[in-house]
Amino acid sequence: MALQESGEMYLETIYVLSQESGAVRGIDIADRLGYSKPSVSRALSLLREDGLVEKDPDGFIKLTKAGEAHAKRIYERHTVLTKLLVGIGVDEETAAEDACRVEHYISDKTFNAIKAHIRKS
C-alpha cells in the first residue's frame, strides 16, 4: 500500500507515542506533530478507512497489524538514516530533520544498500 508522506508521518508518530506511553489519543498526535485536532481527526479517519488504525473501546488509537508493519518500516528508515547522518558529522537535530524528509522517498533498494554498508562498517 502506497501512502502519502503525511499518512506515513501519522503512522510513525502513533508508533513512537505507543512505544513511549502505550496509550495514544488524538490530542497526543496533534501535540507531537503540531497539527490541529480537526486535521488529526480527518487523517485518522482516512487511516481507519485504509485499515491502518483503529480506536479501542476507551477511545485510544491503535495501529492494526498492517499499520504497525508500515510504521515500523518508516521508523527503521528514520533511525538508520539519522544514525548514518550523525556518523558522517551532521548534528543530531539536523540529521533527524533530514532523515524525516528522506525516509519517505528513498527506494527500498537504496535503503537496503545503506543498511548493508553500515553493517560492513
Whose grid coordinates read 488509537?
Answer: 61
Which domains are seen in the chain, by residue range?
A: 5-69 (1.10.10.10), 73-120 (1.10.60.10)
pLDDT in tens, the chain (121 residues): 557 888 999 999 999 999 999 889 999 999 999 999 999 999 999 999 999 999 999 999 999 999 999 999 999 999 999 999 999 999 999 999 999 999 989 999 999 999 998 888 7
Residue 91 is predicted with a pLDDT of: 97
Cell numbers describing residue 99: 532523515
Query: From residue 92, how far is each of 72, 79, 82, 119 by CA, in Å?
Result: 21, 11, 7, 21
Cell numbers describing residue 3: 501512502
Answer for the pair 40, 33: CB distance below 8 angstroms, yes or no.
yes
